[in-house]
Amino acid sequence: MSDLGNWVGIVTGSAAGIGAATARMLAARGAKVVVNYTKSLADAEQTAVACKAAGGDAVLCLADVSDDSACRKLAQTALDTWGRIDGLVNNAGGTKIVPHANLDGLSAEDFLWIYKVNVVGAYQMTRAVAPAMKAQGRGAIVNISSIAGVVGVGSSVAYAASKGAMNTMTLSLARALGPEIRVNAVCPGFVQGRWQQQWHGDAYPQRIRDEEAGTPLARAGSPEDMAEVAIMLLTSCANVTGEIIMSDAGRHLGFAAAKAR
Per-residue pLDDT of the chain (261 residues; tens, 9 = 90+): 459 999 999 999 999 999 999 999 999 999 999 999 999 999 999 999 999 999 999 999 999 999 999 999 999 999 999 999 999 999 999 999 999 999 999 999 999 999 999 999 999 999 999 999 999 999 999 999 999 999 999 999 999 999 999 999 999 999 999 999 999 999 998 888 776 767 668 877 788 888 888 889 999 899 999 999 999 999 999 999 999 999 999 988 875 444 444
pLDDT at 252: 87
pLDDT at 201: 80
Q: What is the DSSP string of the chain?
A: ----TT-EEEETT-SSHHHHHHHHHHHHTT-EEEEEESS-HHHHHHHHHHHHHTTSEEEEEE--TTSHHHHHHHHHHHHHHHS---EEEE---------TT-GGG--HHHHHHHHIIIIIHHHHHHHHHHHHHHHHT-EEEEEE--THHHHS-SS-HHHHHHHHHHHHHHHHHHHHHTTTEEEEEEEE--B-SHHHHHHHGGGHHHHHHHHHHHSTT---B-HHHHHHHHHHHHHS-TT--S-EEEESTTGGGGTTTSPP-
Per-residue pLDDT tens over the stretch 203-222: 777 888 888 888 899 998 99
pLDDT at 199: 67
Sign of CA dihedral 184, 190, 192, 193: positive
User: 34, 12 in Cβ contact below 8 A?
Assistant: no
Q: Using alpha carbons only, give the angle 145, 169, 136 rounded to the nearest 5 degrees.
A: 95
Q: Is the pTM of this model over 0.85?
A: yes
Q: Which fold has domain 8-254?
A: Rossmann fold (3.40.50)
Of the candidates 115, 123, 159, 204, the residue annotated as catalytic is: 159
Per-residue pLDDT tens over the stretch 51-89: 999 999 999 999 999 999 999 999 999 999 999 999 999
Is 159 designated active site? yes
Question: What burial class does residue 85 get, using C-beta atoms within 10 Å of its C-beta: 0-12 exposed, 13-18 middle, 19+ buried?
Answer: buried
pLDDT at 257: 45
pLDDT at 38: 96
